[in-house]
Amino acid sequence: MAQKKIFFVILRKLTLLYSWSKIVGDGRVRDACFPPPYISSSESNIAWLYDELDAQWRRWLPAGVSHTVRRGAFYSVLVRPGFRIISLNMNYCNNKNWWLLLNSTDPATELQWLIYELQSAEFSGEKVHIIGHIPPGHSDCLKVWSRNYYAIINRYEATITAQFFGHTHFDEFEVFYDPNDLGRATSIAYVGPSVSPYYDLNLGYRIYYVDGDHDKTTRLVVDHETWIMNLKEANLFGYPIWYKLYSARSAYLMNSLRPQDWDKFIDDMTAKEDIFNLYYKHYWKNSPRRGSCDGECRKRLVCDARSGRSHDRRALCGHIEARIDGATPAPQTWRAWFYNGLSVSNSTSTTTTPPPSVRQV
């Protein structure tokens, strides 16, 4: 199979270095407070930022995406015949964005636009990669937004071949499942490690190998590598030393990186402590400051990998927790109550008929 290494340099993050200085200096936007497009007052609207982003991103993006960049800093680009990248602004699911108290369902009509783009891609026989910042299954992503996004991903599982996010600083992933059959994996979201140390981490980055340009390309991720820099060694020798920590297929003995393979890997982590410990080492980018991981920690991390939908851990992870506990319910500690009880979903599964609609609450 022909392969092509594609480095996903997320250009918007480079230009946001410029934009962020403007945000801080301007003083009108703080701590992920991104007003929706319908906020039009001059004191509160965010057009000043998105207009500047549009001007900066014109260096790399076609003029045709200007209207969505100016509306909400999201866009869709055909980068190869039959291959499209869709970039989402995840601040519109961010639970620290206080403007979402007005409307958390689809405040920028971004999900409605996403459905349109995916439906068009399906009609055209295109494969799609989605990139964004906050993983949709993370607790920082609001429940209603995440639930609708989950339904969209499952509806277009044949079109979306990979998703890429960041935010957590750790090396991890999230698997999506058919809402009507939680044993059938439908999509995979990769959560890349951060190049910053954050707290107690080594520096890291990831390289993805994607099925490349040929007649029967799938545009699937066929492997990925994580490279790290050991901070202790860098301080000792006075210069950075980067080295490959692992490659997914080799380290985890995976035949491929399809959603079903990652689901099997979750099953292996649940059943075999040595496999989980290897994942835990990579999760922390081999930091010497990582602590031990007890049963509650293990359940949380394995559940994170199974949670492409936020705040629904009981529905997605109950059987995993029971298996890790040896089929014996664990004592209800305050920590278990916090992680599990607060994130119980009262929502019911919805049928994702084409095309899905964005549900209101």
Q: What end-to-end distance do the CA atoms of the chain give, in Å?
A: 46
Name the percent of the chain lying above pLDDT 90: 76
pLDDT band at 42; cut points 50, 70, 90: confident
Other beta carbons within 10 angstroms of residue 288's beta carbon come to 10
Q: Out of 152-156, 215-219, 322-326, which region has the weakest mean confidence (pLDDT)?
A: 322-326
With a cut of 80, say whether residue 333 has pLDDT above it: no
334 — pLDDT class (breaks 50, 70, 90): low
Region of poorest pLDDT, from 19-33, 85-99, 182-196: 19-33
Do residues 220 and 1 make contact, with C-beta atoms less than 8 angstroms apart?
Answer: no
Give pLDDT, residue 5: 40
Q: For residue range 230-239, what is the model confidence (pLDDT) as tens digits?
A: 998 999 999 9
Q: What is the largest CA-CA distance in the chain?
A: 59
Provide the pLDDT confidence category of residue 194 given band limits of 50, 70 and 90: very high
Please determine, for residue 56, whether its predicted confidence score (pLDDT) is greater than 50: yes
Please report the pLDDT score of residue 33 as a whole number. 83
Check residues 358 and 148 and name the one with the higher pLDDT. 148
Concatenated DSSP letters of 218-286? ---EEEEEEEEE-HHHHHHHSS--EEEEEEHHHHHT-S--SHHHHHHHHHHHHH-HHHHHHHHHHHTTT
CB 355 within 8 A of CB 122: no
Backbone dihedral region for residue 326 (phi beyond 0: left; psi -120 to 50: alpha; all else: beta): left
- CA-to-CA distance for 285 and 171, rounded, in angstroms? 7
Q: Does the pLDDT value for residue 188 go beyond 80?
A: yes
To which residue do tokens 């007005």 refer?
102
Q: What is the pLDDT of residue 32?
A: 53
Q: Which of 70, 71, 160 minimizes the C-alpha distance to 115? A: 160
Q: What is the pTM of this model?
A: 0.84
Which phi and psi angles does 290 have, rounded to 5°?
A: -70, 140
- CA 254 – CA 119 distance, rounded (Å): 32
Residue ranges per domain, the chain?
3-292
Paired tokens of 47: 């057009």
